[in-house]
């Protein structure tokens, strides 16, 4: 009987020891898991680069360019014409075919030069292009940006040749001047038109043109500035077309 009690007591002690061993092993596994997790987190912080903080400014400056383009761009159509007018009038006109142009001709004004670059008086009335009688070969530009000229008493010419047509979007210099005025006169309204978030400020400058949309006291030097350059064609009312570098800044 005593032996049975001793055996039963030993079994109980063994079960208790096994239970304690299991609990100890569970605690040990939990500690190891926590240590592994902490080590993994530290490793990730040490090896992975933080999120690129320039993503938002770059997205905003891309949006600024799109809005800027919509505000200042205009259309320009360029063609080469051979027209040998020998009549008595001081000018002649040709009827421009509507289906040739993407942009509506009657919405623009004309600028005509001879091959040597000499200006020729011209004008547009509907689809009629009036050209002064001076030469045979002409380079013709048509755009709303161009200055309107007057010609009268022109005779129709049916025998002419139109060369390759080029149509593209260019920056209107007069629109740039208007935007520059608004930058200083109503900066907040211009920001809204260009869809710039309130937390940002902006500037637009050019390399050679006298266009500078920038704070009068200058861009702050103590903060990070995001800037991007764009090369764009700029058309003036006198027909002068140049490539210009624009810098868009955001801070």
Per-domain residue ranges of the chain: 55-72+172-250, 75-169
Name the band, by pLDDT with cuts 50, 70 and 90, for residue 213. very high
What's the pLDDT score for residue 201?
Answer: 95
User: Which of these ranges, 35-39, 98-102, 119-123, 210-214, has the smallest mean pLDDT?
Assistant: 35-39
The residue-averaged pLDDT of 197-207 equals 95
Residue 33 is predicted with a pLDDT of: 61
For the residues 176-200, what does the mean pLDDT come to?
96
For residue 97, give every residue at least 6 positions away whose Cβ sits within 8 Å of its Cβ, in sequence order, or none.
127, 162
What gap in Å lies between CA 167 and CA 186, rounded to an integer? 34
pLDDT score at 48: 47
Percentage of the chain beyond pLDDT 90 is 69
pLDDT at site 44: 45
Q: pLDDT by residue (tens digit) across 128-145?
A: 999 999 999 999 999 999
- Determine the pLDDT at residue 27: 56
Place of tokens 């930058």: 183
| pLDDT at residue 235 greater than cutoff 80 | yes
pLDDT band for position 238 (cuts 50, 70, 90): very high
User: CB within 8 A of 208, min separation 6: which ones?
Assistant: 242, 244, 245
Q: Given this model, what pLDDT does residue 55 score? A: 76
For 10-36, what is each residue's pLDDT tens digit? 555 545 554 555 555 555 566 666 565
Mean pLDDT throughout 83-92? 95
What's the mean pLDDT in 132-159?
94
What is the CA angle 187-193-199, rounded to 5? 65
Average pLDDT rounded to a whole number, residues 109-138: 95
Residue 3 has pLDDT above 80, yes or no: no
What are 18's two structure tokens? Answer: 């096994």
Q: From residue 247, how far is each of 52, 202, 244 by CA, in Å?
A: 22, 11, 10
Stretch 68-91: mean pLDDT: 96
């Amino acid at each position: 009987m005593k032996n049975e009690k001793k055996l039963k007591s030993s079994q109980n002690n063994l079960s208790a020891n096994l239970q304690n061993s299991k609990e100890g092993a569970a605690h040990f596994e939990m500690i190891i898991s926590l240590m592994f997790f902490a080590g993994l987190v530290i490793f990730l912080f040490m090896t992975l680069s933080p999120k690129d903080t320039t993503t938002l400014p770059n997205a905003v400056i891309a949006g600024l360019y799109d809005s800027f383009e919509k505000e200042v761009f205009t259309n320009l159509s360029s063609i080469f014409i051979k027209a040998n007018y020998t009549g008595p009038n001081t000018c002649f006109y040709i009827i421009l075919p509507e289906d040739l142009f993407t942009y509506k001709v009657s919405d623009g004004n004309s600028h005509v030069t001879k091959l040597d670059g000499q200006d020729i008086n011209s004008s547009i009335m509907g689809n009629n292009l009036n050209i002064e009688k001076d030469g045979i070969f002409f380079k013709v530009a048509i755009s709303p940006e161009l200055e309107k000229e007057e010609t009268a008493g022109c005779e129709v010419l049916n025998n002419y040749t139109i060369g390759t047509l080029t149509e593209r979007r260019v920056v209107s210099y007069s629109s740039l001047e208007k935007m520059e005025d608004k930058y200083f006169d109503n900066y907040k309204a211009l920001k809204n038109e260009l869809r710039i978030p309130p937390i940002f400020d902006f500037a637009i400058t050019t390399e050679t043109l006298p266009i500078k949309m920038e704070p009068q006291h200058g861009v702050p030097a103590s903060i990070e500035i995001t800037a991007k350059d764009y090369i764009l064609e700029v058309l003036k009312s006198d027909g002068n077309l140049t490539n210009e570098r624009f810098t868009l800044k955001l801070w």
